[in-house]
Homo-oligomer: A and B are copies of this chain.
């Protein structure tokens, strides 16, 4: 095993910062893993890249992501740019035999994602679509309960991801409002996390029907255009930029095992800030979760004595799977950083062991297929089968 792995971070925004600091503190939690050397951080401008290098502890900065990937001392490429650049960078990194982490959604279309998954399989490297929320202790405990059979056969799943950041009047256009840059709107940005949880906890989705709505059809041109892909700048010509993605997306679906599911993703749910929420009901019990109270898992066992049966509020901590690596006291609170630490720890472990992670590009592609079927259904108002098969996916 290499004692140190070289990292190139492509992007220095919020996610670049977050992934960087998670890599920085990995050794505090997983003493057995190889150390990650933060070698180079890339952004579109020298200023941004060099500011990132300084703040996040990289040896160097660059505006040339290809050159950064080419370096011999780079083992891992972490892609935290807007969605429309994911594919190009990831495929280049795969072609160079690098291990690749990519923010979700990994591509703009299912076809692109499938091609990425195919190239990843050829490259025999570790790939990861960064579905970090499933790494939360409460959700890992939920998965443990499902795997134990504690809730029996799954019957219904309801997934919500509600935010309200898009509501303020006059909020400028940004790349998350453009189909060319983002692929979809609330569906890909946040709904994809809820779908990831659906697949993780219940299994493959076989067919979907969907509807979407764009609440605000155009937005003021942003003063500064911070997207990675400079070609998008063309849209700055006018004062208002059209919003051509969904602000709200709703869907119903069937899982391959017969369970029924619903999905709601919106940026217009006043008062909901990061409300990633699910409830899974099975023949022997239920589990429920809400990210805004991410330290809690709700679990009801139908085998508890009837007069004292009810949802248990489990305050998570060291007793949950993976929790032993964090704080010794339950309820002290693990939140966002810890999910990043866990997923990057899983990734580095897979690199060390020549293994793979749960949310590899094949999984990312599978989620993309589901979303694409939903977008098609929102257009033609029909039920759509989800392409691909269980055997193609490493989901769950």
Contact = CB atoms under 8 A, between A and B. Distances in A.
Nearest to A263: B262
B14 A327 contact: yes
Given A141-B307, A312-B311, A273 B381 contact: no
Nearest to A337: B337
Contacts of A165: 329
A382 interface: yes
A161 to B, nearest CB: 11
Nearest to A381: B383
Interface stretch (A61-69, A221-229, A235-243, A294-302): A294-302
Nearest to A313: B310
Nearest to A320: B307
Contact of A155 (B25, B248, B309): B248
Interface string A250-290: 11101000101010101011111111000101111110000
Interface stretch (A40-48, A208-216, A350-358): A208-216
A296 B55 CA distance: 29
Contacts of A163: 329
Interface string A155-166: 110101011110
A335 interface: yes
Contacts of A145: 308
A330 interface: yes
Which of A18, A27, A275, A333 has its CB near the most chain B CB atoms (within 10 A)? A333
A302 B168 CA distance: 9
Contacts of A332: 273-274, 335-336
A293 interface: yes
A309 B312 contact: yes
Interface string A59-89: 0000000000000000000000000000000
A319 interface: yes
- 3 smallest beta-carbon distances between A and B, as pairs: A271-B300, A333-B335, A273-B331
5 contacts: A27-B54, A268-B281, A292-B296, A307-B319, A333-B333
